[in-house]
Structure 1
């Protein structure tokens, strides 16, 4: 039996008197694309931050890639993020004075050793082989997001997280980004957890879960 990439039991997260995520039991299979939906404040980003090792749970258990994240030190969490996780944000967080290839190489720097040939290949994979030397301000919104995807996959993650990655894109660019993620997942076999407000975006996944006030209220299987 395949070990789930993500497994939680009674997972909770609180900030002072606010309970952002109430006891959650969830399994995400290896290679699955899980979409997470809910209104603002529903707990979507909280869940993503916990799964990505960006925050620590208040209670319950959380295992990602066979690792108990609550048992890891800060250095252990940083290593987990470097070696296991790629993240695509709604805001691109590209360094404005660096070229596309340099922005991708920056991700390598925090993982191991920058390799321009590998960074070029990653950009070619996302269709930006002709924009290697362009800076973010010289790229369209869709192109900037493709640089972010290249940056997220350069270290061969097993888990790819998307926090509203198409939220600032028009429809054409959104479809282009989603098609690209679909192709890359088929090639690299990583697991995807994508947070979105958009039903059409969520429909690209294998399964959608809906959060409301920190509670998983329902889920929908879209494809096996």
Structure 2
């Protein structure tokens, strides 16, 4: 088995009196595609935010890629996110007045130096070489999500996080996006954490864990 890229021990998160994630022990091997399922409020997005360095835990231990995230300063967490993590959001979060290639270059700006040739190449990889100069309002939902994928992979992350990335897509667009992610993962060999409500989407992963009221209640292997 591959070494663990994510290791948690008693990881938990509370917001005031509300415990969003109860003590969780979890290991994710490097290169695995882990699907995380559960109803709204089950702790899925909380777990993703902790693993991605977007939020801090209330208790427990959390190591990602050899980094002890609890020991990192705010600047250290920002560096970790820039250099290690790519995120695909459900709501796209594209800048409406920027073109597709400019939206991808924006991710480079926060990482190092924008390179239009690299941004163009990333968009070509996701099948949008003909849409480089289109703004988000001129793209379909599926095309906007592919821009998000290009933006997420432009800095060669080791960990790709998806927060309901197909939640606003129809079935055809969902399948296209999932097939694209599978191809990119095979090429780039990144680890995937995919939060979803959709059982069909979950089966694209190697393993699925189910959260309920902040507790890991079961897991199953979806691919050998």
- TM tier relative to shorter chain: over 0.9
CA distance in 2, matches of 1:2, 1:202: 21
How far the C-alpha of 1:2 sits from its partner, in A, is: 3.5
Q: How does 1:52-131 map to 2 (within 5 A)?
A: 52-131=52-131
Across the two proteins, how many residue pairs are aligned to each other?
Answer: 224
1:38 matched to 2:35: no
What TM-score results when the alignment is normalised by the length of structure 2?
0.99
2:175 equivalent in structure 1: 175
Question: Mapping of 1:5-24 within 5 angstroms?
Answer: 5-24=5-24
Report the counterpart of residue 190 of structure 1 in structure 2: 190
1:133 matched to 2:127: no
**SS at 1:20 equivalent:** strand
Deviation at residue 223 of structure 1 after TM alignment: 1.7
User: For residues 160-182 of structure 1, what are the alpha-carbon distances to aligned partners after superposition, in whole Å with 9 as ceiling and x for unaligned?
Assistant: 00000000000000000000000
1:39-83 per-position Cα deviation (integer Å, ceiling 9, x unaligned) = 000000000000000000000100000100000000000000000
Whole-angstrom CA distance in 2 between matches of 1:26 and 1:114 = 36
- Once the two structures are superposed, residues 103-160 of structure 1 have per-residue CA deviations (whole angstroms, 9 ceiling, x without a partner) of 0000000000000000000000000000000000000000000000000000000000
| Cα distance in 2 between the residues matched to 1:2 and 1:170 | 35
The CA RMSD over aligned residues, in Å, is 0.6
Deviations 1:172-203 (A, max 9, x none): 00000000000000000000000000000000
Q: Distance in 1 between matches of 2:133 and 2:3?
A: 41
TM-score by length of 1: 0.99
Segments of 5+ residues of structure 2 without an aligned counterpart are: none
Q: Work out the CA distance in 1 between the residues paired with 2:40 and 2:222.
A: 23
Match of 1:143 in 2: 143
Q: CA-to-partner distance for each residue in 1:13-61, whole Å, 9 max, x for gaps?
A: 0001110000100000100000000000000000000000000000010
Using the alignment, how far apart are the partners of 1:113 and 1:15 within structure 2?
A: 37
1:5 alignment partner, SS class: strand
CA separation in 1, counterparts of 2:183 and 2:97? 30
Q: Distance in 2 between matches of 1:8 and 1:41?
A: 20
Question: 1:85-116 CA deviation, whole Å, 9 max, x = no partner?
Answer: 00000001000000000000000000000000
Runs ≥4 residues deviating over 3 A? none
